[in-house]
Structure 1
Amino acid sequence: MANVVKARCAGVSRLLSWRSTTFHLDAVSQKNDRPTSGPISRRLKDEADTVIIGGGVVGTGLAYCLAKAGQKDVVLLEKTELTAGSTWHAAGLTTYYNPGINMKKVHWDSFNVFKEVERETGKDVGFHGPGTIRLASTPERVDEFRYQMQRQGWNKAPQWMLTPEEVHQMHPLLNMDKVLMGLHNPGDGHIDPYSLTQAYAIGARMYGADIYQQAGVTGMSMRSDGSWNVDTQHGTIHTQRVVNAAGFWAHEIGRLCGLELPLVTVQHMYVVTGPIPEVQARETELPVIRDLEGSYYARQERDGLIIGPYERAELMKMQNHWVSDGVPPGFGKEFFDSDLDRISEYLEAAMEMIPAVRDADITRDVCGPITCTPDHLPLVGPFMAPGLRNYWLAAGVFDGLIHSGGLGKYLTHWIMNGEPPYDLIETDPNRFSESWCNRNFVATRCRESFGFNNIIIWPKEERPAGRPTTRVSGIYQALLDKRAEMGFHSGWEQPNWFAKEGDTPGYRPSFRRTNWFYPVGRECELVLSKAGVIDLTPFGKFEVGGPDAARLLDYLFANNLPQQVGRTRVSHMLTPCGGVYAEMTVTRLGEDQFFLVTGSGSELHDLRWIEDHAWKCGYDVVITNVTDDMGVLGIAGPRSRRVLAKLTSHDLSKEGFKFLSCQQLSLGGVHVRAVRISYTGELGWELYHAREDTARLYEVLMSAGQEFGLGDFGTYAMGSLRLEKGFRGWGAEMTVDNNPLEAGLGSFIKINKPTDFIGKAALQQLQQEGLTRKLVCLTVEVEEDGPDAEGNETIWHQGEVVGFTTSGAYGYRVQESLAYAYVPPHLAQPGTVVQVELLGSRRPATVQQEPLDLFAYGQWSPDRS
């Protein structure tokens, strides 16, 4: 440890005892507030609509939101007392900023809930709003700030960049030698965790919720009707649904019903300084500082500062015995032993950036448990496991305070309306399936995610920890040998692109075009002129059969079902409000047998929706997830038919094997279910087969295709090709935030089909009211090295924000930078010029007639024959 840090720590006053009382930072005067509901002094309720397990800020926030929304019989059970766990020792930071897109809405909603609960209860939540400044000390970080700004303009929260002079004016204690730029969020700040939690609890009880402390859950069992018995030491409650919001106890609560949730507990440490004269002399509170290269935050705490580092992976400490053995039964409102040596380099960085800290004493150091998931995002929503119903999660919430109100509103809407209020699939609790996500992966990935807390968020970022999992196709090593650069999708390894001799391999991060750009163009040319093979094994694949299979799917999908055996249709599942919940291909294998295919990232997200509606409607069906059993190879390009013809005597002609049809083939002795479709828009097939046959199928394809120039291509090339063809992508052009009419999916929606389907009434109303925005294709004027749009960029017109992009890439065939975007109808006419914000520059962009391929070359068809 550096001498300077030793000197500063010489007078450290460690916490004198591990008292089971509330720890406060700002609202010390409130530390003797009585809990809103004390230990059990009366019989537990016998019945509840919702039982929330966990009395931290997330659980109480949900109880408040649910009760306020009018749900009757909301019950919250807390093992010890409110705020015990991670809430009570939190540093209290709250910010509008989030590097993602959907989570920005959560933060925005949370700030509004803070104001509402304070106003309604009269309980001061201890909020301070001096704003936050993120510091950029490298040119790459400045680029990241510009990248974040281009994604912020169409969102609600204010955010702007600061010059070094403006940074210093707002925070004069900073050493400006390294500061190149600041990113400012006014209105940010910090809140008292105890006061906020108590306000939530007061508000929840005010609206009729019941809160029981000293009521630990000892057992759980689901009844045959999908409701639950929740056992405590004081009795059993029968409830329609359970929400696990138990913080670092959530994993143990999951184990009560046989679930292994992807959660681990890590240590977060911060220090509190004594009075600093330069801070004491100020009339206004200093803004919160996040020194991203130093990887710490610093906020004012009375006349001193709180400094909280995020250590890199090899330094951060995880409770390893908790990973395997669980949280010790007696652990509650306690701290871990602090280790200032572990964070010494971060304290040194803080002293360099804020020189006044050098002469301050550390009066308190805090080291407490917080919960982490493999990707640092929470688990929010209904959880799926065989036979499991009505089990919800609000767990793994690393930033509990700023997420509490927003997630409370989000889950309340979903619980009460049967659909999420907006797209938040990145927090779907089923994104980590137990089939591949074991405890070792969770621990390894969480260590990486925590250590990367303040790294630059690059486009197309790939993180290596815990890879590969068990989800690799039979050609994984063969593709690596051919210098495939792999992407990670729901546990699967899938080639993004292929390096050849002369290419720079590996992931080279950049906000502009980088080492993959020209290789991807080479792969696009391969598919357009010859033929390429792509590993599509990560697709989610389901078989649905039984007497009611057709009835179920006709109810779920807005398109007509394929009537003939061996026919395929692109179909969409909608929410009751008309949002696009999923896009799938539906193939009829028999009178009562169907084959459904979806993207890798939405496998269990879609399966849960199908199974839930089958169960609720009482349909007699058998739904089988065959994702891990089946491999998929795609072949596309004008010579693809000739390649396959060498391996089978089957008629592959345009008439013999029609577009969107499915036939059983034997290719070089490998049995495949072949569907004539390709997301590239070129002539192509998807070849479904037993996963153990993938290597053999790949070998025979490559051997047969040698004379035709057959090669490999990856997902980056496929993404570029699909944009040129006008193909929409689920999760980009269509989500629950978009209806299929504005997304240009009208040809797939049979709004007048005789049977009702979910969302039909909403679409009929939208037709009457008219659309408020439309999806358009843009060509964007960019520099030679980009950057190209990738999605979520702000669209400007005449100095006003008018929309946002959904996806983008360079179109190698049309030789234009492309983007899809939602804009008002009056700006959707071809030839209209708008601007796309890219790294601080508003680039001219022209609305095009789509698909571009048709108008550039005049020979486009949905699948070239």
Structure 2
Amino acid sequence: MGTLLRAALRRLPTPRRHRCPLPAAAPRPLGSGAGAQGGKENPSPSLRKDRADTVIIGGGCVGVSLAYHLAKAGLKDVILLEKSELTAGSTWHAAGLTTYFHPGINLKKIHAYSIKLYEKLEEETGQAVGFHQPGSIRIASTPTRVDEFKYQMTRAGWHPTEQYLITPEKVQELFPLLNMDMVLAGLYNPGDGHIDPYSLTMALAAGARKYGAQLNYPVQVTNLNPRSDGTWEVETPLGVIQAKRIVNTAGFWAREIGKMIGLQHPLIPVHHQYVVTATIPEVKALKRELPVIRDLEGSYYLRQERDGLLFGPYESEKKMKLQDSWVTNGVPPGFGKELFESDLDRIMEHIEAAMEMVPVLKQADIINTIAGPITYSPDILPMVGPHQGVRNYWVAIGFGYGIIHAGGIGKYLSDWILEGEPPFDLIELDPNRYGKWTTTEYTAAKARESYGFNNIVGYPKEERFAGRPTERAGALYDLLKSKCSMGFHAGWEQPHWFYKPGDETGYKPSFRRTNWFDPVGREYKQVMEKVGVIDLSPFGKFKVKGTDSVKLLDHLFANVVPKVGTTNISHMLTPRGKVYAELTVSQLYPGEFMLITGSGSELHDLRWIEEEIVRGGYKVEIENVTDEMGVLGVAGPYARQVLQKLTAEDLSDVSFKFLQSKHLKLSDIAVTAIRISYTVTFALRLPTHHLLVMPLNFIANCELGWELYHRKEDSVALYSAIMEAGQKEGIDNFGTYALNALRLEKGFRAWGAEMNCDTNPLEAGLEYFVKLNKPADFIGKQTLKQIKEKGLKRRLVYLTLETDDVDPEGNESVWHNGKVIGNTTSGSFSFSAQRSLAFAYVPTELSKVGQKLEVELLGKNYSATVIQEPLVLTEPTRMRLQRKGESPKI
């Protein structure tokens, strides 16, 4: 380490928790500070109103952004309550980084909106925001990082924001102070930069006031009382406000707000430090501002701060620090604009890495450190939207990167509140992705992991193992854990693929085919030729019954209500005609239904259904039985032979038809069995050239098979009985990776990939399931009719690809004539055709069978062809063709 820097570290004071006024503690970005007049506090706080449409609790950048957007959109009865000062908590001491980049998909839209808003906010409000846009560069110093950048480029091409994979020479041109011996490539985003968080918040506050929002501080919320009509009483020392809805944007106080109504939001404060240097001559001599860099191997960000540098590291999960006492005892009273004691020993390896990458730091003098709290959720993503189980309670909490998210999330939530549905799909931010299984211990373990993994390589099919297994792991976990690679699904553990002697076991992530590839092919063959068993217990499972149950489901779903003893695939649409959810619906008894959805959408779907029950005044009961029921799937040409050994019930095709459900006993264990497979009826081709499709949660391989619903405590006995009964038929396990390959070969769509709140069912090829002529006026019906009349601009197509050792995953760019024209939604290798498969959305004029396209994978465009669906016919269709003497397509 440089002697001057080491001496500076020794000289630097490390104060205890202290009150630190902003100008002294947090460095102002270059040229900032002019917006401070927007922060003048209310001299005598007064509520002025006792009624509001929306009460926002928390005055950080996210809460103020929401107030600004709601008021600007015309909602005048908006009140924001802040317990101390605007920006108190995490906003005021943030490093203020802004970037177009995000490894996800729709969060790119949030980032892009924020940056575009910040560019014009000063002109709109008259408040300077200190916004600098020198661009940013993510540094690749290993070949794996170069692969990661290529992977991210394939996912960015179909988005409008600029992003480039640049050479070391270009990196050096943009940031001439780097040690170029360490640089292999850069991922460059023009327009990135940094902003003064304080000035940004004050500008948003000025805009909120301009459009009619009322911002009150210091006013503390002391209690929340839900009323029977769904409205709220918000208690404060200055009086009570009656509100139609409340939005928790309280930052690291969000847990305290949640506790007022019995919720335990999975959040934990993390100590984050960054360091500011004095003037560095080489920086001062530059003619233009340096771009922000992110040295991913060194795990830190670095940007110019006046004529010096600011850099902030993310320590390993072993070294980083959580503020556990806050979780146990709550945030200390009066904590607002205070900092923690700095601990530079904890970040020393990152300081050394920064000096190696940026050698001028070796002679720099550190003049300040900032060590403050930021709030982490278990997966580092925020929680945004309405909360299941509590009417008209919304959250925007858990922001590890609140500055770049603030503008976009304010707009996103405002649109959702005013329009009644999300403007686009962001289910990864759904607060309802967590449940009772998300304990404090789990939250702490995952937050520690997420912080420590902030800059690790982001692989496809990524798994993280801290906090696992949870108490929800599943009844078969202990039995199967040594035999397979497990995946995490909403607290459950579910086998991804199974081991055999000679396999390379364990989690081996890669951007190319890796250790799971051959075993998945083996499981594929098992199901196609024999019989396989899969644990499907993570499905979300609801029971609905009551006087109005049929009426409710007829209103909720675009399909007809199934008759007693039958099952169908049904979609809940939004008022704009988007696919909010896909479920299987079975009428078990007259007026009593079982609804099944995917594990990741359990509470997401339940909240929507509950909201419609209340809104329509339906006399029904809905019960979430997800944790009480296990599910086993048995599939393959010998599935009937195996199960028939265990029951006196006739399982023949005549007695137990496709999409029929029955209550029976298998080895004296009570099950609800649903027969799920293709029949000749489902081999009809639709006029649009799309074959009828089935959902992933319908045991997506859809060879001859059943789903078996039973008491979770019977899972081990049922599984053991089935495996014993199938020994002669060569029964074996298969996992979700094989399931995905099988469903793609059959052309089955999956919710969250081929359909979501970004797509309508017509463009997704789901026409068969949408009954526009049914009498009931289901949600989205009229809009969907209009969409159909106007015609579609894009369609989902089915592609084969000529690749080498890489397969599509979804969200890759699709090219035609040198331009990006669409994107894949999911993909896999086809073990029957020995080539890659993918679904993709493309313009209608490029959707015909035979159309030649290209799909970008890891920096290379591979030729692709639109083909007729499906690639592999279902088992009943193959058998039918064989009986006719024809050669079936497999």
Query: What amino acid does structure 1 have at the position aligned with 2:28?
Result: L
**1:657-668 → structure 2 map (5 Å cutoff):** 657-668=656-667
Paired with 2:60 and 2:12, the residues of 1 have a C-alpha distance of 29
Structure 1 residue 19 corresponds to structure 2 residue 20:
yes
C-alpha separation between the residues in 2 aligned to 1:540 and 1:751? 27
Residue by residue over 1:148-196, the C-alpha shift from the partner in whole angstroms, topping out at 9 and shown as x without a partner, is 0000000111000111111011100000111100000000000010111
Q: Secondary structure at the match of 1:415?
A: helix
CA distance in 2, matches of 1:599, 1:135: 37
Counterpart AA for 2:848:
Q
Which residue in the other structure is 2:165 paired with?
161
Q: Quote the Cα distance in structure 1 between the aligned partners of 2:218 and 2:43.
A: 5
SS where residue 572 of structure 2 aligns? strand
Deviation string for 1:452-507 (max 9, x for gaps)? Answer: 000000111110000000112222111123x1110000000000000110000011
Give the 5 Å matches for 1:52-71: 52-71=56-75
Report the AA paired with residue 516 of structure 2. Answer: W
What number of residue pairs does the alignment pair up? 856
Q: Which residue of 1 aligns with 2:761?
A: 740
Partner Cα separation in structure 2 for residue 507 and residue 61 of structure 1:
41
Contact in 2 for aligned 1:57/1:197 (Cα 8 Å): yes
Distance apart, 1:632 and its partner CA: 0.3
Check the 8 A contact 1:484/1:495 in 2, yes or no: yes
Deviates more, 1:682-691 or 1:108-117: 108-117
- Cα distance change of structure 1 residues 323 and 5 upon mapping to structure 2, 3 Å threshold: farther
Q: 1:395 to 1:855 in 2, by over 3 A?
A: closer
Distance 2:442 2:877 in 1: 50
Pick from 806, 813, 819: which aligns with 1:794? 813
| Alpha-carbon distance between aligned partners in 1 of 2:163 and 2:808, rounded to the nearest angstrom | 20
1:707 alignment partner, one of 715, 720, 728: 728
Aligned-residue offset at 1:124: 1.5
Displacement, 1:681?
Answer: 1.9
Residues in 2 aligned to 1:579 and 1:125: alpha-carbon distance in whole angstroms: 37
Alignment of 1:634-645 (within 5 A): 634-645=633-644
What's the offset of the Cα at 1:771?
0.2
* Structure 2 unaligned regions, length at least 5: 677-698, 882-887
Query: What secondary structure is seen at the aligned counterpart in 2 of 1:651?
Result: coil
Report if the CA contact (8 A) 1:44-1:234 is conserved.
Answer: no
Deviation at 1:755, TM superposition (A): 0.9
Contact 1:11 1:362 (C-alpha < 8 Å) held by counterparts: no
Alignment correspondent of 1:611: 610
Q: 2:844 is matched with which residue?
A: 825
CA deviation vs aligned residue, 1:315-347 (integer Å, no higher than 9, x gap): 111101112111111211100000111111100
CA distance in 1, matches of 2:2, 2:467: 33
Contact 2:851 2:865 in 1 (8 A): yes
- What aligned pairs does 1:813-852 form with structure 2 within 5 A after superposition? 813-852=832-871
Task: Confirm or deny: 8 A CA contact 1:40 1:214 kept in the other structure.
Answer: no
Describe how 1:425-504 pairs up with structure 2 within 5 A.
425-434=427-436, 436-481=437-482, 483-504=483-504
TM-score, scaled to structure 2:
0.94
Which residue in the other structure is 2:551 paired with? 551
User: For residues 496-575 of structure 1, what are the structure 2 equivalents within 5 Å?
Assistant: 496-563=496-563, 565-575=564-574
Q: Give RMSD over aligned pairs.
A: 1.7
Q: Pairwise mapping of residues 275-424 of structure 1 onto structure 2 (< 5 A)?
A: 275-385=279-389, 388-424=390-426
TM-score between the two structures when normalised by the length of structure 1: 0.97
CA contact (8 A) 1:724 1:814 kept: no
1:673 and 2:672 correspond: yes
Q: From the superposition, tell whether residues 31 and 554 of structure 1 become closer, same or farther in structure 2 (CA, over 3 Å).
A: closer
Deviations 1:759-781 (A, max 9, x none): 10111001110000000010011
**Letter matched to residue 461 of structure 1:** E
- Give CA-to-partner distance per residue, 1:3-32, whole Å, 9 cap, x none: 775234244366796234554412564375
Instruction: Assess if the C-alpha contact under 8 Å between 2:86 and 2:217 holds in 1.
Output: yes
Paired residue type of 2:444: A
Deviation at 1:668, TM superposition (A): 0.4
* Stretch of structure 1 that moved more, 677-686 or 82-91: 677-686
8 Å contact from structure 2 (residues 703, 874) kept in 1: no
In 2: Cα distance, 1:231 partner to 1:557 partner: 39
The answer for the alignment partner of 1:804 in structure 2 is 823
State the Cα distance separating 1:820 from its structure 2 match: 0.3
Counterparts in 2 of 1:131 and 1:657: CA distance versus 1, 3 Å: same
Which of 226-235 and 113-122 deviates more?
A: 113-122
Kept after mapping to 2: 8 A contact 1:849/1:855: no
| Superposed counterparts of 1:680-759, under 5 Å | 680-759=701-780
Identity rate, percent:
58
Q: Is the 8 A contact 1:637 1:684 kept in 2?
A: yes
In structure 2, distance between residues paired with 1:513 and 1:230: 55
2:878 matched residue in structure 1: 859
Match of 1:104 among 93, 108, 121: 108
Q: CA deviation at 1:42?
A: 3.1
Contact 1:24/1:31 (8 A) holds in 2: no
Distance 1:861 1:827 in 2: 33
Distance 2:196 2:60 in 1: 13
Q: Is the 8 A contact 1:39 1:213 kept in 2?
A: no
- Contact residue 275 and residue 304 of structure 1 kept, 8 A: yes
- 1:576 aligns with 575
1:268 paired with 2:268, answer no
**After superposition, where does 1:167-316 map in structure 2 within 5 Å?**
167-316=171-320
CA 1:184–1:431 in 2, change beyond 3 Å: closer, same or farther?
same
Q: Deviations over 1:683-740 (max 9, x none)?
A: 1000000000000000100000011011000000000000010110000000010000
Shift of 1:35: 2.2
Q: Secondary structure at the match of 1:852?
A: coil
Task: Give per-residue Cα distances to partners, 1:508-552, cap 9 Å, x unaligned.
Answer: 011000000000000000000000000000000000000011111
CA distance in 2, matches of 1:771, 1:30: 49
Please report how far the alpha carbon of residue 826 of structure 1 lies from its aligned counterpart in structure 2 after TM superposition. 1.1
Q: CA deviation at 1:283?
A: 1.2
Question: 1:761-800, aligned counterparts within 5 Å?
Answer: 761-783=782-804, 785=805, 787-800=806-819
Counterpart CA distance in 2 for 1:41 and 1:114 is 29
Deviations, residues 234-255 of structure 1 (Å, cap 9, x unaligned): 1111100000000111111111
Tell me if the contact between 1:8 and 1:359 (Cα under 8 Å) persists in the aligned partners.
no
- C-alpha contact 2:745 2:871 (8 A) present in aligned 1: yes
Are the equivalent residues in 1 in contact too, given 2:255–2:264 (CA < 8 A)? yes
Quick one: distance in 2 between partners of 1:790 and 1:283? Answer: 43
Classify the secondary structure of the residue corresponding to 1:706. coil
Q: Distance in 1 between matches of 2:399 and 2:621?
A: 35
Instruction: Write the distance in 1 (CA, Å) between the matches of 2:532 and 2:334.
Output: 59
Unaligned runs of 5+ in 1: none
Q: Distance in 1 between matches of 2:559 and 2:33?
A: 62
Question: How many Å apart are 1:816 and its aligned residue?
Answer: 1.8
User: Is the Cα contact below 8 Å between 1:37 and 1:211 reproduced in 2?
Assistant: no
Taking structure 1 as reference, are residues 776 and 857 closer, same or farther at Cα in structure 2, changes over 3 Å only? farther
